[in-house]
């Protein structure tokens, strides 16, 4: 007999805590419809349906990895409002606003998915009708609080204006009334009774002002009276208010008709948004807990879960295990001591198989799960919050039902098979049931303490024997799954840890030895040898993992250093290019200024030349220590073929006199050198022999004016004699006396054709170019 979904849901909840895991996932949903869909999720009927659901989750996880936020804000369950509109009922302002917010959320999700690389999610979003005219209509007439806007229609706007005008007249009338009758009033303020403006008057004066009386105070000493002068205005306000409410009702009715016309599209959009939010909730849960989308295998038996972790266990302390069954294995048989994790292992595998069939991700690094048409669970321990039936009769009745309905497409989970009755009979039943289920090619997971059952598992190639690791020294479980090794119960050791009397333990051990068969002793010896081999294997594995870890750390450090060096090189090159470009622009600006201003004053030209020379400062590749220099030192300017004497030092900048010009230079660009030994030139110059080469430059720096002029005259004579057409006279800047004297003298030289100041690269104003006739 086929089980109903309700029966399956109860069985899953009791056996594998399915409902608690669904509640955990539903906590990531954005609105009630998707939460309800997750909480009621059950395994799907077809492999194609499962694949479609898992594909949506896979794309959702990729969006989470890329930090693409799919915003469902504004989504709500609008089914009641749509149903009421279809029945031609008038929706309220908040209901209409909820429809608008829902459609705005649809537009947001549609826009986000349209711009993302999620083809299946986008295909779903593209199928929605965004009902833009309906959104505009509601948005124009209903505000964010769900109230009809004052200007929703021309009539409504006029009525609100009229209402405000009448109200202002009423307030003016009330102020005048209070001012003229203050002695007869209990309070000089107005109050509102049933929407009508009133005043509080003394009891003896309640009928003095005409109008109406609306009641008395608690003491009976005062009455709420509406004077005759108030009545007309109050009546008018009430009439206008009724007209306003009627107009609002008309507007809501008109909008409700539009909702009714779009009802089918709205319900379809709600279903689509539920699918999308459900998929994104699953994706957010899996991404947050480092899960994966399982690969659902069809027509294959391979079961593989790498680093599986139960979602209800503490993520900081849970032990990740890898479970696998190959194509030729039909059964996984887990043994080991009580409280060692056997049931948790069965629940984890059963839960992940169920989640995968319901289209959910699982908490594994990788998962391959066959497609099963039916899932069966029999777990009767005390670890479930709600105790299920645990008597042998209930246990065996469930197993009988499984045997009647299972086939090669069934997944069966049996905890402590054969328990609750005589051990010998229970073991026999367990072996017979496992044989029957495997003969029908079911996939079976079971746990056992029986030696006979473990011995059967060791001899049948269709069974993978496994155990949960137990530390024999500390007598504590490690919760690690060990395939290929059957586990001992450690019952005597655990009993000793809980201080059972030694005499009882000795008697129990003797009784066991007396009654143990040779096959059981051999199994125990084999289990001991298997555990020793496994411990050695684990030690080697730990050493190998440690070596790999050290290697990975070293490689990671090397890659980090290489990346840091690349970043530093790129940043330095970029900054260097920027600085060079900036200096080129400044130099171009100065040159353009000098070209435009031919008649610039002397000191302005000097400043521009200083700026241009300063731009020639090289950009240091690395910060260097400031040289220890002092005033009076003779230095070389780094990057320039110039030298001079330091005349002043302020902070990290020195003033250097170079060829009579004073230049401010950074200290790290100066290098101390030997002061040159300048010989004073003889005042009498002899004509150079035609065999010697005529120098094209005369340096007068360091000479007095008279001495320099004599040297200049002799030099010009020699230049004329050697037929030189152009020479350069270096006189420096200084105070300008020597320069002016040189220019005056050259103007009176008959052999001089033209004199001009040298260019920036030839000494600037510190030198003169002389063209001879």
Q: Which residues are annotated as a binding site?
A: 336-343
Q: Are 322 and 481 spatial neighbours (Cβ–Cβ below 8 Å)?
A: yes
Alpha-carbon distances of 16 from 316, 648, 712, rounded to whole Å: 21, 88, 111
The DSSP 8-state label assigned to residue 45 in this structure reads: S
Enumerate the known binding-site residues for ATP. Answer: 336-343
Strand 185-193 versus strand 196-202 pairing type: antiparallel
- Whole-angstrom Cα distance, residue 648 to residue 632? 8
Buried b (16+ CB within 10 A) or exposed e, 437-466: bbeeebbbbbbbbbbbbbbbbeebeebbbb
Six-digit token pair at 560? Answer: 């980090």
Beta partners for residue 412, in sequence order = 376, 444
Q: Are 526 and 484 spatial neighbours (Cβ–Cβ below 8 Å)?
A: no
**3-class secondary-structure state, position 482:** strand
- Whole-angstrom Cα distance, residue 156 to residue 142? 13
Alpha-carbon distances of 295 from 43, 51, 281, 369, 713, rounded to whole Å: 15, 9, 19, 6, 102
Q: Are 420 and 426 spatial neighbours (Cβ–Cβ below 8 Å)?
A: yes
Phi and psi at 681, nearest 5°, equal: -75, 145
Q: Among 417, 419, 465, 462, which Cα is nearest to 443's?
A: 462
Sheet hosting strand 410-414, strand order edge to edge: 374-378, 410-414, 443-447, 331-335, 463-471, 476-483
- Whole-angstrom Cα distance, residue 658 to residue 648? 13
Matching residue, tokens 């500390």: 474
Compute the C-alpha angle 109/110/115, nearest 5°.
100
Alpha-carbon distances of 180 from 166, 176, 186, 211, 222, rounded to whole Å: 21, 6, 14, 17, 18
Q: Are 763 and 742 spatial neighbours (Cβ–Cβ below 8 Å)?
A: no
Q: Are 274 and 76 spatial neighbours (Cβ–Cβ below 8 Å)?
A: no
């Amino acid at each position: 007999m086929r089980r109903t979904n309700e029966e399956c849901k109860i069985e899953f909840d009791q056996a594998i805590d399915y409902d608690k895991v669904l509640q955990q996932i539903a906590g990531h949903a954005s609105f009630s419809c998707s939460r309800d869909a997750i909480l009621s999720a059950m395994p799907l009927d077809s492999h194609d349906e499962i694949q479609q659901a898992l594909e949506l989750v896979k794309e959702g996880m990729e969006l989470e990895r890329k930090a693409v936020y799919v915003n469902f804000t504004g989504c709500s369950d609008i089914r009641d409002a749509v149903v009421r509109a279809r029945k031609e009922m008038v929706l309220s302002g908040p209901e209409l606003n909820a429809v608008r917010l829902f459609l705005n959320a649809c537009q947001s999700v549609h826009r986000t998915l349209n711009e993302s690389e999620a083809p299946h999610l986008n295909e779903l979003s593209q199928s929605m009708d965004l009902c833009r005219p309906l959104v505009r209509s509601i948005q124009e007439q209903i505000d964010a609080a769900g109230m009809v806007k004052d200007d929703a229609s021309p009539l409504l706007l006029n009525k609100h204006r009229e209402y405000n005008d009448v109200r202002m007249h009423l307030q003016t009338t009330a102020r005048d009334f209070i001012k003229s009758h203050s002695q007869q009033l209990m309070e000089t303020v107005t109050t509102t009774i049933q929407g009508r403006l009133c005043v509080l008057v003394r009891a003896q004066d309640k009928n003095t002002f005409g109008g109406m009386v609306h009641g008395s105070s608690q003491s009976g000493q005062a009455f709420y009276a509406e004077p005759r002068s108030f009545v007309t205005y109050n009546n008018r306000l009430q009439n206008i208010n009724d007209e306003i409410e009627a107009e609002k009702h008309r507007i809501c009715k008109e909008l409700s008709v539009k909702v009714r016309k779009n009802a089918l599209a709205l319900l379809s959009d709600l279903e689509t948004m539920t699918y999308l939010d459900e998929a994104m909730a699953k994706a957010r849960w899996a991404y947050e807990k480092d899960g994966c989308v399982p690969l659902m295998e069809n027509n294959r038996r391979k079961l593989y879960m790498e680093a599986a972790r139960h979602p209800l266990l503490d993520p900081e302390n849970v032990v990740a295990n890898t479970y696998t069954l190959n194509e030729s294995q039909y059964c996984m048989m887990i043994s080991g001591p009580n409280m060692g994790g056997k049931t948790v292992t069965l629940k984890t595998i059963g839960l992940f198989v169920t989640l995968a069939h319901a289209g959910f991700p699982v908490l594994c690094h990788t998962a391959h799960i066959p497609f099963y048409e039916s899932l069966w669970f029999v777990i009767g321990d005390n670890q479930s919050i709600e105790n299920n039936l645990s008597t042998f009769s209930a246990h065996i009745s469930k197993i009988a039902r499984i045997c009647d309905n299972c086939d090669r497409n069934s997944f069966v989970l049996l905890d402590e098979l054969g328990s609750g009755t005589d051990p010998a009979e229970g073991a026999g039943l367990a072996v017979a049931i496992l044989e029957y289920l495997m003969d029908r090619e079911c996939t079976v997971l079971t746990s056992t303490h029986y030696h006979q059952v473990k011995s059967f598992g060791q001899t049948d190639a269709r069974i993978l024997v496994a155990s949960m690791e137990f530390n024999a020294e500390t007598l504590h479980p490690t919760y690690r799954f060990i395939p290929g090794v059957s586990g001992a119960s450690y019952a005597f050791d655990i009993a000793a840890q809980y201080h059972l009397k030694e005499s009882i333990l000795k008697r129990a051990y003797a009784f066991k030895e007396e009654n143990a068969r040779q096959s059981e002793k051999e199994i125990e010896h084999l289990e001991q040898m298997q555990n020793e081999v496994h411990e050695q294997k684990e030690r080697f594995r730990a050493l190998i993992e440690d070596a790999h870890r050290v290697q990975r750390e070293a490689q990671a450090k090397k890659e980090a250093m290489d990346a840091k060096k690349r970043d530093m090189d790129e940043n330095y090159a970029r900054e260097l290019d920027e600085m060079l470009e900036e200096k080129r622009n400044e130099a171009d600006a100065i040159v353009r200024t000098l070209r435009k201003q031919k008649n610039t004053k002397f000191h302005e030209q000097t400043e521009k030349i200083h700026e241009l020379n300063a731009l020639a400062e090289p950009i240091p590749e690395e910060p260097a220590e400031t040289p220890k220099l002092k005033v009076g030192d003779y230095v070389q300017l780094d990057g320039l073929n110039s030298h001079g004497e330091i005349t002043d030092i302020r902070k990290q900048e020195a003033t250097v006199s170079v060829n009579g010009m004073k230049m401010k230079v950074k200290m790290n660009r100066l290098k101390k050198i030997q002061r040159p030994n300048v010989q004073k030139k003889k005042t009498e110059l002899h004509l150079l022999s035609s065999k010697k080469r005529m120098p094209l430059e005369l340096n007068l720096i360091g000479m007095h004016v008279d001495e320099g002029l004599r040297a200049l005259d002799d030099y010009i004579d020699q230049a004329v004699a050697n037929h030189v057409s152009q020479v350069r006279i270096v006189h420096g800047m200084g105070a300008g006396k020597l320069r002016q004297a040189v220019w005056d003298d050259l103007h009176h030289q008959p052999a001089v054709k033209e004199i001009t100041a040298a260019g920036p690269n030839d000494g600037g104003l510190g030198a003169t170019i002389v063209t001879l006739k």
